[in-house]
């Protein structure tokens, strides 16, 4: 029998197969070193994989009475471009009425791509492809509140265990909780000690 929500192991296999998760010796633009690298859009380039992941995440929201009872009058919101395919997939699975996405302006401030006004946003679920620090979710929730709307759920395909596990008392939903190893510099990095070749990557 096909399980309704794939296990974290199955999801990790999908991420590996698509190149969205890699193991090696990576250095980020911040100078931090890590043996793991996620590039989630590589998983979302395959439509079937994208659909399986988004449907699975949607099921974690649908079981919440506070969410299912408000359908379809809810909005699915992505904090950035990386979350847009997740947002569309979750919207589709839940038949939610609205979809919005935010992006960072040149001044660094996060804004909704749609120029919406007070009262136009339904109670919302914020979804992203990956939650590394939780800042993107927090900034997006602040935008939602400025517009007088309520956040009724948050989630992502992968959540780093270093990020918050709840948002305002509600657990953050994810398909995988990943214990990411990050080292501030080469001094602290085990792979540097082994002289393994470095690959420079962007977020
Ligand atoms: Zn290193």
With 80 as the cut, is the pLDDT of residue 3 above it? no
For the chain, the average pLDDT equals 94
Nearest Cα to Cα of residue 70 among 39, 96, 92: 96
Asked, for residue 1, whether it belongs to a domain, the answer is: no
Asked, for residue 71, whether it belongs to a domain, the answer is: yes
Asked, for residue 132, whether it belongs to a domain, the answer is: yes
3-state secondary structure of 129: strand
| Distance in Å, CA 102 to ligand 1 centroid | 33
What are the tens digits of pLDDT across the range 118-147? Answer: 889 999 999 999 999 999 999 999 999 999
CB 92, CB 125: distance < 8 Å: no
| Distance in Å, CA 193 to ligand 1 centroid | 7
| Distance in Å, CA 131 to ligand 1 centroid | 23
DSSP annotation of 183 reads B
Cα distance between residue 195 and residue 203, in whole Å: 23
Q: Quick one: pLDDT at residue 67?
A: 95
Cα distance between residue 164 and residue 162, in whole Å: 7
In the structure, what pLDDT confidence band is assigned to residue 168 with cuts at 50, 70 and 90? confident
Asked, for residue 124, whether it belongs to a domain, the answer is: yes
Nearest Cα to Cα of residue 159 among 121, 133, 184, 188: 133
Asked, for residue 199, whether it belongs to a domain, the answer is: no
User: Residue 159 is encoded by which pair of tokens?
Assistant: 């959540």
User: Residue 139 is encoded by which pair of tokens?
Assistant: 């900034």
Tell me the CATH number at 37: 3.40.50.2020
Asked, for residue 136, whether it belongs to a domain, the answer is: yes
With 60 as the cut, is the pLDDT of residue 188 above it? yes
| Distance in Å, CA 196 to ligand 1 centroid | 8
Asked, for residue 26, whether it belongs to a domain, the answer is: yes
Range of the domain at 39: 8-193
In the structure, what pLDDT confidence band is assigned to residue 1 with cuts at 50, 70 and 90? very low
User: Residue 134 is encoded by which pair of tokens?
Assistant: 């939780």
Q: How many domains, in total, are found in the chain?
A: 1
Asked, for residue 2, whether it belongs to a domain, the answer is: no
């Amino acid at each position: 029998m096909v399980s309704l929500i794939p296990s974290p192991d199955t999801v990790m296999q999908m991420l590996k197969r698509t190149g969205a998760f890699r193991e090696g010796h990576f250095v980020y633009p911040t100078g931090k070193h890590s043996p793991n690298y996620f590039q989630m859009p590589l998983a979302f380039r395959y439509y079937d994989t994208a659909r399986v992941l988004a449907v699975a995440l949607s099921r974690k929201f649908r079981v919440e009475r506070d969410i299912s009872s408000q359908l379809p009058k809810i909005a699915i919101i992505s904090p950035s471009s990386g979350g847009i395919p997740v947002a569309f997939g979750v919207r589709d699975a839940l038949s939610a009425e609205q979809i919005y996405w935010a992006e960072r302006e040149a001044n660094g401030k996060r804004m909704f791509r749609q120029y919406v006004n007070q009262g136009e946003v339904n109670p919302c679920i914020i979804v992203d492809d990956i939650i590394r620090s939780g800042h993107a979710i927090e900034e997006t929730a602040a935008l939602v509140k400025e517009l007088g709307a309520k956040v009724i759920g948050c989630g992502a395909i992968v959540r780093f265990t270093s990020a918050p596990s709840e948002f305002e008392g509600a657990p953050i939903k994810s398909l995988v909780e990943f214990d990411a190893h990050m080292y501030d510099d080469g001094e602290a990095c085990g792979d540097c000690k082994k002289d393994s070749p470095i690959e420079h990557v962007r977020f």
